[in-house]
Amino acid sequence: MSRFEIVGRSVRSGASVPFDSEEWSEAAGGSKDAVARRSIPAPEIPIPQQGKLGQLAYLPAWFIGARFMGKTNPLQTVLFVSNHCNLACKHCDASTHSNTMSKSYDQIREELEYSYSIGSRFVDFEGGEPTIWHDGHYGINDLISLARNIGFFSTTVTTNAQLPFDGLEATSIWVSLDGTREYHDQIRGAGTFDRALKNIAASGHKAVSVNMTINCINKDCVEDLAHMVAENPHIKSISFSFHTPYPGTEHMMLPWDQREQVLDKIIAMKKAGVPIMNSVSGLELMKTNDFPKDCWVCNFILTDGTRLSECPGKTVGICDQCGFGMGAEMRSVFQFKPDTILAGLDLRVS
Ligand X SMILES: C[S@@+](CC[C@H](N)C(=O)[O-])C[C@H]1O[C@@H](n2cnc3c(N)ncnc32)[C@H](O)[C@@H]1O
What is the closest distance, in whole angstroms, from the C-beta atom of residue 124 to ligand X in the complex? Answer: 9
Q: Are 8 and 16 contacting, i.e. CB atoms less than 8 angstroms apart?
A: yes
Under DSSP, the state recorded for 220 is: G
Residue 160 sits in the site that holds ligand X (CB under 6 A): yes
Q: With CB cut-offs between 5 and 8 Å by kind, which of ligand SF4, ligand X, none does residue 244 bind?
A: ligand X
Nearest to 132 by CA among 96, 165, 174, 93: 165
Q: Which residue is nearest to ligand X (CB)?
A: 176
Residue 213 sits in the site that holds ligand X (CB under 6 A): yes
Distance (Å) of CA 179 to CA 3, 231, 243 = 29, 15, 13
Q: Considering only residues 27, 34, 78, 85, which one is a binding residue for ligand SF4 as defined by CB under 6 A?
A: 85
Residue 92 sits in the site that holds ligand X (CB under 6 A): yes
Pseudo-torsion of CA 218, 223, 226, 229, nearest 10°? -90
| CA separation for the pair 209, 229 (Å, rounded) | 9
| CA separation for the pair 10, 1 (Å, rounded) | 20
Residues that contact ligand SF4, how many (by CB under 6 A): 11
Nearest to 285 by CA among 293, 297, 277: 293
What is the closest distance, in whole angstroms, from the C-beta atom of residue 176 to ligand SF4 in the complex? Answer: 6
Residue 252 sits in the site that holds ligand SF4 (CB under 6 A): no
Q: With CB cut-offs between 5 and 8 Å by kind, which of ligand X, ligand SF4, none does residue 126 bind?
A: ligand X
Residue type at 55 in one-letter notation: Q
Residue 313 sits in the site that holds ligand X (CB under 6 A): no
Phi, psi of 134 (to 5 degrees): -155, 155
Residue 214 sits in the site that holds ligand SF4 (CB under 6 A): no
Q: With CB cut-offs between 5 and 8 Å by kind, which of ligand X, ligand SF4, none does residue 249 bind?
A: ligand X
Residue 126 sits in the site that holds ligand X (CB under 6 A): yes
CB count, 10 Å around CB of 248? 11
Residue 87 sits in the site that holds ligand SF4 (CB under 6 A): yes
Residue 77 sits in the site that holds ligand X (CB under 6 A): no
Residue 245 sits in the site that holds ligand SF4 (CB under 6 A): no
Residue 97 sits in the site that holds ligand SF4 (CB under 6 A): yes
Pseudo-torsion of CA 257, 258, 262, 264, nearest 10°? 20
Output the DSSP codes for 92-124. S-GGGGSS--B--HHHHHHHHHHHHHTT--EEE
Nearer to ligand X, 158 or 332 (CB): 158
**Dmax of the chain from CA atoms?**
62
- Residues between 136 and 175 with contacts to ligand SF4, criterion CB under 6 A: 160
| CA separation for the pair 250, 212 (Å, rounded) | 18
Q: With CB cut-offs between 5 and 8 Å by kind, which of ligand SF4, ligand X, none does residue 84 bind?
A: none
Residues that contact ligand X, how many (by CB under 6 A): 19
Is residue 142 within a helix (H) or strand (E), and if so which, with residue range? helix 140-150
Q: With CB cut-offs between 5 and 8 Å by kind, which of ligand SF4, ligand X, none does residue 88 bind?
A: ligand SF4
| Alpha-helical segments (H) within the chain | 21-27, 52-68, 105-117, 140-150, 181-188, 192-203, 222-231, 256-271, 280-286, 312-316, 325-334, 338-348
Q: Considering only residues 8, 74, 119, 127, which one is a binding residue for ligand X as defined by CB under 6 A?
A: 127
- Residues between 239 and 298 with contacts to ligand X, criterion CB under 6 A: 241, 243-244, 246, 249
What is the closest distance, in whole angstroms, from the C-beta atom of residue 132 to ligand SF4 in the complex? Answer: 10
Residue 96 sits in the site that holds ligand X (CB under 6 A): yes
Interacting residues toward ligand SF4 by CB under 6 A: 85, 87-89, 92, 96-97, 127-129, 160
Interacting residues toward ligand X by CB under 6 A: 85, 91-92, 96, 126-127, 129, 158-160, 176, 211, 213, 241, 243-244, 246, 249, 323
